[in-house]
Amino acid sequence: MRCKHYITMQDPKNEDKRHVTELAKETLAFMAKNQIAVTPKNFEDWFFVLCKAKEEEHLLTDQNLFILYEDYLKDKPQILNDFEAKQVSQELKDVASDSEDIVSLMDNNIEKHKRYIQDSKEMIKTKDEDKLNELYSKIDALEQENSLLKEKIAKNIQKLDSLQNKFHEFKKLGYEDPLTGLANRRGFEEDLQTLMAAGGPLYLVYLDIDNFKSINDTYGHSVGDEVLKDVGEILNNFIRKDTRAYRLGGEEFAILIPNVSEENSYKIAERIRKVIENHNIRLKDGDKEEKIISYTASFGITGYKEGESMDEFVDRADKAMYQAKKAGKNRVVIL
């Protein structure tokens, strides 16, 4: 099962619909049994937990599921918080409105300055000291008002800088996997749609870490995280400049390779496979002997066929990767 895919997909195929329906029923039954409020967020979270627990073949006891809840949710696809997005949008509107008011006041003050200058010329001619003093007072007041407007402008600039940082954070949250630094499933789907629409040769590589559940069970999830980060680093260092790697969720990754032949796409995947195979993670645990962990990954490759849907393209890459698993793992299969 592909739990990340189930959460984000919009138009599931019949087989996926059956899995999703069964999981939804089990999720609702579990929530009812444990008196968990059936809110949209709670349902999404527990649906994901049950899906992942089944995927990794855990015993589906209530105790196990509650233990897995905290661990699994850190890996769940992050979605931009609607409240935060609306809040930032409202702040932008407030800054824009305030800036318009400031510009209007500045324009008005410029007109006042012009009138005061003209009046001062007349008063100098007539040598009317009282009126000149009154005019000087008006000019002082105007300068103070302009000084306050400058402070407001400076504050608005700070607000815009802060909002820009928030947008960068939201973008990172929405399109980047926080553990590996790779783009996430959302970024993958957007890039894939763009490349499919652009036309030209396009190859999709799916890779999945072999025996990842065993790594987690043997060494703990913190070591599993180190393996995931290691794969992310390898992908960043060993892909071409015009390609991009993604973490789709769990131990599953993808690479999009445009404008290459099937043969070259295979060479790229095979080179990365060999790097992973020959790469070790060294772990120190206090004074204990250093642990050396090695791991492998299985790869599936497929080329885009003009006119097919994104789901068809992705499913074929997924099947190729599972064929590599069935054939003995640690290999590349083209479909």
Q: Are residues 108 and 150 in the same domain?
A: yes
Same-domain status, 34 and 169: no
Give the model confidence (pLDDT) of 101-122 as tens digits: 666 666 566 666 666 666 666 6
pLDDT reading at 185 higher than 90:
no
Model pLDDT for residues 118-164, shown as the tens digit of each residue? 666 665 666 666 666 676 677 677 777 767 767 777 776 676 666 56
Kindly state whether residues 48 and 117 are assigned to the same domain.
Answer: no
Residue 229 domain-assigned (yes or no):
yes
Residues 297 and 270 in one domain: yes
Do the domain assignments include residue 180? no
Q: Confidence band (pLDDT; 50, 70, 90) for 272?
A: very high
- Tell me, yes or no, whether 192 and 328 share the same domain: yes
State whether residue 104 is helix, strand or coil: helix
Three-state DSSP at 296 gives: coil
- Residue 213 inside a domain? The answer is yes
Q: Does any domain span residue 209?
A: yes
Same-domain status, 129 and 47: no
**pLDDT tens column, 205-226:** 999 999 998 998 888 888 889 9
Asked whether residue 199 falls in the same domain as residue 305, the answer is: yes
Beta bridge partners of residue 301, listed in sequence order = 205, 334
**Helix %, strand %, coil % of the chain (to 5):** 65, 10, 20
Q: How does DSSP classify residue 327?
A: T
Closest CA to 206 of 4, 48, 8: 4
User: What is the predicted pLDDT for the residue at 80?
Assistant: 47
What pLDDT shows up at residue 308?
A: 92
Mean pLDDT for all residues in the chain? 79
Higher model confidence: residue 226 or residue 76? Answer: 226
Task: Tell me: do 27 and 144 sit in the same domain.
Answer: no
- Does 48 fall in a domain? yes
Q: How confident is the model at residue 6 (pLDDT cuts 50, 70, 90)?
A: low
Strands of the 244-249 sheet, one edge to the other: 244-249, 252-258, 202-209, 297-303, 332-334
Residue 227: HSE in the Cβ half-sphere, 13 Å Cα cutoff: 27
* Total of domains in the chain: 3
Picking from 177, 140, 145, the residue whose alpha carbon sits closest to that of residue 253 is 177
Instruction: State the residue range of the domain holding 256.
Output: 185-334
Domain end call among 131, 152, 175: 175
DSSP per residue over 217-280, as a string? HHH-HHHHHHHHHHHHHHHHHHS-TT-EEEEEETTEEEEEEES--HHHHHHHHHHHHHHHHT-E
The angle subtended at Cα 177 by Cα 65 and Cα 175, nearest 5°, is 120
267 has pLDDT over 50 = yes
The single residue of 176, 189, 226, 251 carrying the catalytic annotation is: 251
DSSP state of 78: P
Contact assessment for residue 236 and residue 245, using Cβ atoms and an 8 Å cutoff: yes
For residues 90 and 209, membership in a common domain is answered with no
Instruction: Give me the amino acid identity at 171.
Output: K
Listed residues 157, 175, 193: the one ending a domain: 175
List 334's β-bridge partners, or say none.
301
Contact indicator for 215, 227 with CB cutoff of 8 Å: yes
> Domain check: are 255 and 289 in the same one?
yes
Give the DSSP H or E segment for 209.
Answer: strand 202-209
Other CB atoms within 10 A of residue 270 CB? 14
**Residue finishing a domain among 143, 175, 207:** 175
Cα 1 to Cα 26: distance, rounded to the nearest angstrom: 15
Q: How much of the chain exceeds pLDDT 90, in percent?
A: 30
189 tagged catalytic: no
Strands 280-283, 244-249: pairing kind: unpaired
Say how far apart CA 322 and CA 311 lie, in whole Å. Answer: 16
Same domain assignment for residues 29 and 89: no
86 pLDDT more than 60: no
| Host H or E run for residue 203 | strand 202-209
pLDDT category at 232 given cuts 50, 70, 90 is very high
Same domain, yes or no, for 169 and 295?
A: no
**Residue 141: what pLDDT?**
75
134, two tokens:
């009154």
Residue 230 has pLDDT above 60, yes or no: yes
Cβ atoms of residues 269 and 253 within 8 Å: no
